[in-house]
Amino acid sequence: MHPNQLFRSDDRALLETLIEEVGFGMVFQTTPDGPRVAHTPVLSTGNGAVQFHLARGNALTRWLDGATALITVNGPDGYISPRWYSDRATVPTWNYVALELEGRVRRMDSDGLEALLHGLIQRHEAQLGGDPWRADETPPAMWRQLLGGIVGFELEVRAWRPTIKLSQNKPAEDRAAIAAGLDAAGSPALAELVRRLAP
């Protein structure tokens, strides 16, 4: 989390949207084997928890149940050039959107894992449009085998630590130039966030 209060947000709906739109995160924990990270799809329950699954053989899987862990979800990011400022006598910076979620993890039962998988499939298939793929298209024996190779978890979020760093500390004319510069540099998603979320 960035120390500047300008880059923080208490807008829970915005944070939930970030989780939904990105849909992917990193789970961090210090284990007896040392610090570990796992990359995984994430799904918010909408009531203060985030669900995810890991391969049974992942280095974190055996340590997570009952532990405190950290999930990060990263949105768009990009280099900000001083050439876009009205006063170029400064230094470059980086704009980014990131969310840290800290909390206690519990292992899900098989029904919970199955529900998580169906939730992830439905959400992402809907984003693709067209005729969605359905889990029941997988032969049942194959589905059971694949299901046995993963473990589902739910992190009960006790701390939401967002950073929404979108040049809020710059005047409006500089923010407009930054957004235009990001568009030209091939970062339209970050440019749109600078336009919409910075005051």
Contact 76, 106 (CB under 8 A): no
In angstroms, rounded to a whole number, what is the distance separating the alpha carbons of residues 48 and 101? Answer: 10
For position 1, what pLDDT does the model report? 79
Percentage above 70 pLDDT, the chain = 99
Mean pLDDT of 122-143: 94
pLDDT score recorded for residue 199: 67
Q: For residues 68-102, b (16+ Cβ closer than 10 Å) or e, as one string?
A: ebbbbbbbbebebeeebbeeeeeeeeebbbbbbbb
Residue 23 confidence (pLDDT): 96
- pLDDT bucket at 172, cuts 50 / 70 / 90: very high
pTM given for the model: 0.92
Taking only Cα atoms into account, the Rg of the chain, rounded to an integer number of angstroms, comes to 20
Q: Which domains does the chain have, with CATH numbers?
A: 5-191 (2.30.110.10)
Residue 142, pLDDT above cutoff 70 = yes
Confidence check: pLDDT of 177 > 70: yes
How much is the pLDDT for 197? 86
